[in-house]
Copies of this chain bind each other. A is one copy, B any other.
Amino acid sequence: MQIGMIGLGRMGGNMAERLRRGGHEVVGYDANPEVSDVASLKALVEALAAPRVVWVMVPAGEPTRLTLEELGQLMSAGDIVIDGGNSHYVDDRVHAEQLGGKGVGFVDVGVSGGVWGLQNGYALMAGGETEHIQRLMPIFETLKPEGPDGFVHAGDVGAGHFAKMVHNGIEYGMMQAFAEGYELLRASDAVKDVPGIFSSWRTGTVIRSWLLDLMVNALNEDNDLSGIRGVAQDSGEGRWTVQAAVDHAVPLPVITAALFARFASRQDDSPAMKVVAALRNQFGGHAITSAAGEVGKGADSPGADVAPPPEAR
């Protein structure tokens, strides 16, 4: 079928290509004219026959919002807009209402697959009305991996991005679990072959997984990860997962701990731990480390001039 694809970066470009390979007619638009089939969103909409289907694959937040607003003015009743970016599920409801006011359908799709998606297909989680989803099934069938899995009509508008968000939250927890295991292995004097241990787990164990495979790749490239700083960014979805948990009163200790570990990894010094050090100094003359890196007693702390048994307070 015919589809407009907005945003032809790594994700959108490959998806357009996979759709073409699958026999669909794709009209692509991108801010970069070198990869764009048309000169503007307006031209894109005009190039499509009604009822139109347009897939938006641009960065979440402002870019997606502006694109959807403009599409709302260009498209007509009976058309469908798909947001396949990493939008916040809360925004989906707003966008669906705005477009719905003009009779334009809205479907949100969480997309997973990254650089392997072109060849292997993309996992797709869709949210929206059943009627809309059914019209789009030929597209989903082409984009998804072969086999029985890889696509779900997750629920109403927002459910697709919600599912993708939860996927990423689970991913945070799993990555941190591997990370903690690695650190504990490194701390043991008896353990001599950490990369070998991870490799040994690839077959026959409960934790075999694609992340474990990546872990083995990473350790093969750099045995002790000495070339990498322990600094990890986080994407919006990790934060949204925790905020959704708070909104829904769902305890999420593991995923939240994983998110907080990333926050902490980016700090040069921890304001919180300054407080703990300062309090320890206040109540017992415990040694503190000055900002200059020297260890010493606080000069004016009680007991600073005596040598306490370290635990006795």
Contacts and interface: CB of A to CB of B under 8 A. Distances in A.
B204 A113 contact: yes
A197 to B, nearest CB: 5
Interface stretch (A44-52, A74-82, A302-310): A302-310
A11 B229 CA distance: 42
A179 B275 contact: yes
Interface residues of A, number: 168
Contacts of A267: 230
Nearest to A150: B203
Interface string A177-220: 11111111111111111001101111111111111101101100
A310 B63 CA distance: 13
A218 B278 contact: yes
Nearest to A86: B311
B228 A171 contact: no
B251 A218 contact: no
A265 interface: yes
Nearest to A278: B218
Contacts of A183: 250-252, 270-272, 275
A251 B229 contact: no
B254 A257 contact: yes
A283 B113 contact: no
Contacts of A142: none
A43 interface: no
A191 B159 contact: yes
B263 A176 contact: no
A312 B11 contact: yes
Given A207-B167, A232-B277, A284 B150 contact: no
A139 interface: no
Contacts of A175: 275-276, 279-280
A151 to B, nearest CB: 6
Interface string A287-300: 11111010000001
